[in-house]
Amino acid sequence: MDATTDNSQRRPFSIKLWPPSENTRKMLVERMTNNLSSPTIFTRKYRSLSKEEAAKNAEEIEDAAFTIANQHYEKEPDGDGSSAVQLYARECSKLILEILKKTPKSEDKEISISEVVPTVQETFFDISKGKRAFIEAEEAQELLKPLKEPGNSYSKICFSNRSFGIDAARIAGPILATLKDQLKEVDLSDFVAGRNEAEALDVMNIFSEALEGSNLKFLNLSDNALGEKGVRAFGKLLQSQTNLEELFLMNDGISQEAANAVSELVPSTEKLKILHFHNNMTGDEGAVAIAEIVKRSPLLEDFRCSSTRVGSEGGSALCEALGMCSHLKKLDLRDNMFGPEVGLVLSKALSQHENLKEIYLSYLNLEDEGAIAIANALKDSAPSLAVLEMAGNDITAEAASAIASCIAAKQLLAKLSLGENELKDEGVIQIAKALEGHKHLTEVDMSSNALRRAGARVLAQTVLQKDEFKLLNVNGNFISEEGVDELKEIFKKSPEMLASLEDNDPEGEDEGDEEKESGDEDVEDELESKLKNLDVKQEASVDAHAPDSN
């Protein structure tokens, strides 16, 4: 039952308005200090505070408002933090006024923020910090003591990163049973690591029985190597949930049988918004079972089924089911064995997704056929697409025109990953042209694409014009030494924006391209000149060695 958290995947890009940066918080405190210490429309009735008084109260106001807004953010339905920001601002304004009202001109009494805002009760109980370790009965008794306090307001608990033995579970079980009516979020990821199978299953049964009948919105059972036995050990908990909005079963050994058990035991997913199955051994038949869950989840916004050993049959079933999820905002199907035929099925589903903002389709064996179909579908849907990943799909320059047309239509695109393909200069320059008008672009990955000096130069010059740009990756290509020097010169004022080039092979040659010397800039310049003038909205095929028809 031992399992470790998979950190190999990079965290997907996501646009968030909350939390504010430390610098933003400090600036707000300074502004409130000035407001509290300067004459205002209230000075006829209320006195202004001294600078010292104002500074102290401003810090306390900001801290109180941040706490209230942050607790709201944890339950925020849309997840982007916009309503938390609005609440944060309203609370600051309200508390400033309350402080002023408490300080009439006739009084010199110093007012504390605690007099105008009630104490915010803690709602999140978390024992996951620190080193990963076993927990036994005595430590559990002490550690879980706050959960036994009468009238506590804990609605969210996290027991991750601490491995519960049977004795510790017997302590935790009754405590959780007394809290289950108030709990909304439960994180039991990685909580039986290192235990033998029999003990781990007993622990799961105890927790499942204790939490049976709770009304959870969030449940995380990841990193527990569940398999079918583990899923069924949590049967009582799963069967009693009818309002789940977020379910995580990552790195759990979810086989075909386990996937069938999940589909059977989760009675209702009508309110489900987030469903993650990353890094399992689901396979085709298991994917069919997961597809049934997806079909029952019309409100699904975030679906992840990456690294799950799914092939053509299971991939087709999943993609067909996704066609019913019109609210989808984020889709991650990376690292499966779909093939181009699944790409065609997925393209039909994507035509329904107007709300899609992030899509991760790397390492799916899509090839040109699947990539073109998906690009054409996305071109006419997903107007707010911010992240597009299609790395490692054997995509060649033949698909570049369709991809470029799609990209040209996505003016909110921030991250583009097409690494480990075969786009070459021909394809990359077409895509670079499509990126010219994109103001929000922050990251482009064109690594390992048999790219040479001309393509790298055009791409670099394009992205450097973006105010928000952060990183260009063209490592692992065939850029000449002169080309590398040229890239470094282009990025000399912001070298951090150019990823390492240590895996670049300046003498690399492609199959069928032996006659082209790495230092032959004439052919590259001709190619660059021709492709920069292409209309990316039209299908086009350019031969790098053909004379210019014009």
3-state secondary structure of 477: coil
Kindly give the pairing relationship between strand 387-389 and strand 330-332.
unpaired
State the pLDDT at residue 396.
98
DSSP assignment string, 125-140: EE---SS-EEE-HHHH
Query: In this structure, what are the phi and psi dihedrals at residue 274, rounded to the nearest 5 degrees?
Result: -130, 130
State the pLDDT at residue 39.
67
End-to-end CA distance of the chain: 67
3-state secondary structure of 475: coil
Name residues whose C-beta falls within 8 Å of residue 290's C-beta, 6 or more positions apart in sequence: 259, 262, 263, 277, 282, 305, 318
DSSP assignment string, 202-217: HHHHHHHHHHTT---S
**Tokens linked to 16:** 């968030």
Considering Cα of 79, then 82, then 84, then 87, what sign does the dihedral take? negative
Q: Is cis: bond before 547, omega within 30 of 0?
A: no
CB 19 within 8 A of CB 73: yes
State the pLDDT at residue 12.
46
Cα 461 from Cα 456, distance rounded (Å): 9
Query: In this structure, what are the phi and psi dihedrals at residue 212, rounded to the nearest 5 degrees?
Result: -60, 130
State the pLDDT at residue 5.
43
DSSP assignment string, 138-185: HHHHHHTGGGGSTT----EEE-TTEEE-HHHHHHHHHHHHHHTTT--E
Considering Cα of 468, then 474, then 479, then 484, what sign does the dihedral take? positive
**Tokens linked to 462:** 């394009």
State the pLDDT at residue 40.
58
**Tokens linked to 523:** 């052919």
The predicted-structure confidence for 322-337, as pLDDT tens digits, reads as follows 999 999 999 999 999 9
CB 473 within 8 A of CB 504: no
State the pLDDT at residue 398.
98
Burial (CB < 10 A; 0-12, 13-18, 19+), residue 285, is middle
Q: What amino acid occupies position 72? A: H
Which one-letter DSSP state was computed for residue 396?
Answer: B
Cα 521 from Cα 97, distance rounded (Å): 69
State the pLDDT at residue 543.
36
State the pLDDT at residue 550.
33
State the pLDDT at residue 106.
47
Burial call 107-119: b when 16+ CB within 10 Å, e when fewer: eeeebebeebbee
State the pLDDT at residue 60.
86
State the pLDDT at residue 98.
77
Which one-letter DSSP state was computed for residue 495?
Answer: G
Which one-letter DSSP state was computed for residue 441?
Answer: -
Backbone φ/ψ region at 365: left (φ over 0), alpha (ψ -120 to 50), beta: left
Q: Which of these, 500, 494, 429, lies nearest to 468 by C-alpha position? A: 494
CB 97 within 8 A of CB 65: no
Whole-number Cα distances in Å, 106 to 46, 109, 248: 9, 9, 59
pLDDT < 70: residue spans in the chain: 1-16, 39-47, 75-79, 102-121, 509-550
Count of CB atoms situated within 10 Å of the CB of 209:
16
Domains of the chain: residue spans and CATH: 22-101 (1.10.246.200), 122-268 (3.80.10.10)
Length of the chain in terms of residues written: 550
Cα 224 from Cα 68, distance rounded (Å): 33
